[in-house]
Amino acid sequence: MGVNDSVMQKVLMMVTPQDEYDHVINLLQQHHKWFQESIPLIASENIPSPAVREALMSDFGNRYAEGWPGERVYAGCRFIDQVEFKCIELMKKLFEAEFVDVRPISGVVANLVVYTAFTEPGDTMMALSIPCGGHITTGKKELGGTAGAVRGLVVEYLPLDYKELNIDVDKAKERIQKLAAEGRPPKLVMFGASVFPFPHPIKELEETIRSVGGIVAYDAAHVAGLIAGKQFQDPLREGADVVSLSTHKTFFGPQHGGVLSWAKYADKTKRATFPGMVSNHHLHAVAGVTIACAEMLEFGQEYASQIVKNAKALAQALYERGFNVLAEHKGFTQSHVILIDITKQGDGGTIEETLEKANIIINRNLLPWDIKEGRHFMHPGGIRLGVSEVTRLGMRESEMCEIAEFIKRVVIEKEPLEKVKTDVAEFRRDYQKVHYCFENATDAYKYIKIR
């Protein structure tokens, strides 16, 4: 051991487990404080109500309940079963679904349930590519995507119309028929995306997909709250056989997943979830989702309609300040998300980092044409902004203009970041409560100590 090593060793030994424990708690508390003072614009994130957070801290999170409620493999499920049945009942009502499985623990797991129920390894599936807004769960094997690398599906891409930021219907029909002619018809076509500003053409493509024996699937991870709030398309009515969910993006949280489908697909979907994909299924989160469903039933329409208004308002305000917000000719968006070509101002990675220093939390995003132009995901040409969380904090159109102004001050005027950060914290002071919920005595990001 060198001198330096032995000194190091002594220093390390002076850090006690108690110190480590205190340190972690301190980091958690710092995170909470930071989010109290920041503008959260990550399109996949949201803030749950105090009641949902309470459910997350409940003892449900320490239990097992393998199987279907009422037919569990474990004892001790008396109340857990009642909550899970209620969750299924409320989800059915919200989404007008014949069958609901609330056990998938996340959107990724929900997609794996869909793949397992409806495909075999080696089958062809279609989805949007990642630069075109697709998600890693629908990625090809060579990219390590879930569909390709985990389920062994051969992924072919749905074509995107770059200007419309939507699936190109005619080209998609051609591609489906070509694959069928080659003897590898898509067994499953996955609509939905992570950059999802406009409703996808399910109705327009359903017949072609069915004519080659394909299943119509819809990934509602991003837009579940907008569908529940009746402000986006209704995939089950438009022809989807199965819909996968995350419950925490536009939906009211907590982080969890779910699958919606028809009664005729219930058995195989259930089997894919358990024993296929979960053992414990995060029962505290199921309880949280159940509470979130009740909140959605009561406040969902008002919330979702404000989200769409806010997204349009933020897009317009940024556009007027010189940002190249895409799809201007279509009103920028019909959902919670907007996509900005940031190449005039820099690259997405650097801008993400700079904005973070001013307490504005956004994420860099590939533009559909980035790969062809030699950009990649660390330094892409785009940024993606979502307004779900700021909407849930009670912000409206006028606050969207203020947010656009902060972004302009950082990205275009290049004001000192510390100055903007101070003003952001000041702006945030009035938005510390979760709205669209039954009770909000506890502040949105309050660190809750129960030790």
Q: For ligand PLP, which is the closer residue by CB, 104 or 349?
A: 104
Nearest distance, CB of residue 371 and ligand PLP, angstroms: 19
Q: For ligand PLP, which is the closer residue by CB, 185 or 368?
A: 368
257 binds ligand PLP (CB under 6 A): yes
Among 194, 208, 261, 359, binds ligand PLP (CB under 6 A): 194
Nearest distance, CB of residue 440 and ligand PLP, angstroms: 25
101, 149, 154, 159: which is closest to 128 by C-alpha?
159
Q: What are phi and psi of 330, to 5 degrees?
A: -110, 15
For 317, the token pair is 């305000």
Q: For ligand PLP, which is the closer residue by CB, 106 or 363?
A: 106
Q: For ligand PLP, which is the closer residue by CB, 112 or 308?
A: 112
Piece of the chain touching ligand PLP by CB under 6 A; list 83-91, 192-200, 204-212, 408-416:
192-200
Nearest distance, CB of residue 438 and ligand PLP, angstroms: 25
CB atoms within 10 A of CB 225: 33
The residues in 274-313 that bind ligand PLP, with binding defined as CB under 6 A, are none
Piece of the chain touching ligand PLP by CB under 6 A; list 50-58, 181-189, 191-199, 370-378:
191-199
Q: For ligand PLP, which is the closer residue by CB, 221 or 407?
A: 221
Q: For ligand PLP, which is the closer residue by CB, 352 or 399?
A: 352
For 331, the token pair is 């009103």
Nearest distance, CB of residue 146 and ligand PLP, angstroms: 9
88 binds ligand PLP (CB under 6 A): no
Q: For ligand PLP, which is the closer residue by CB, 38 or 137?
A: 137
Q: For ligand PLP, which is the closer residue by CB, 46 or 310?
A: 46
Among 193, 209, 216, 293, binds ligand PLP (CB under 6 A): 193
Give the dihedral of Cα atoms 273, 279, 283, 286; nearest 10 deg: -10
The residues in 217-256 that bind ligand PLP, with binding defined as CB under 6 A, are 219, 221-222, 246
Nearest distance, CB of residue 5 and ligand PLP, angstroms: 41
Q: Determine the size of the site formed for ligand PLP (CB under 6 A).
A: 15
Nearest distance, CB of residue 47 and ligand PLP, angstroms: 16
Q: Are 311 and 108 in contact (CB under 8 A)?
A: no
Q: For ligand PLP, which is the closer residue by CB, 123 or 219?
A: 219
Piece of the chain touching ligand PLP by CB under 6 A; list 24-32, 177-185, 190-198, 380-388:
190-198
Piece of the chain touching ligand PLP by CB under 6 A; list 58-66, 189-197, 338-346, 417-425:
189-197
**Dist CA 279 CA 286 (whole Å):** 14
Q: Is 15 exposed, middle or buried (0-12, 13-18, 19+ CB in 10 A)?
A: exposed
Nearest distance, CB of residue 427 and ligand PLP, angstroms: 28
Nearest distance, CB of residue 195 and ligand PLP, angstroms: 9
* Residue corresponding to tokens 């340190």: 23
Q: What are phi and psi of 187, to 5 degrees?
A: -80, -25
Q: For ligand PLP, which is the closer residue by CB, 284 or 408?
A: 284
The residues in 363-382 that bind ligand PLP, with binding defined as CB under 6 A, are none
For 432, the token pair is 């510390």
Q: For ligand PLP, which is the closer residue by CB, 254 or 348?
A: 254
Edge-to-edge strands of the sheet including 363-365? 324-325, 337-341, 382-386, 363-365
Kindly write out the interface string for residues 98-137 of this chain, putting x where it contacts ligand PLP by CB under 6 A and - elsewhere.
--------xxx--x-----------------------x-x
Piece of the chain touching ligand PLP by CB under 6 A; list 186-194, 202-210, 338-346, 379-387:
186-194
CA 144 to chain centroid, in Å, comes to 20
Interface residues toward ligand PLP, by CB under 6 A: 44, 106-108, 111, 135, 137, 192-194, 219, 221-222, 246, 257
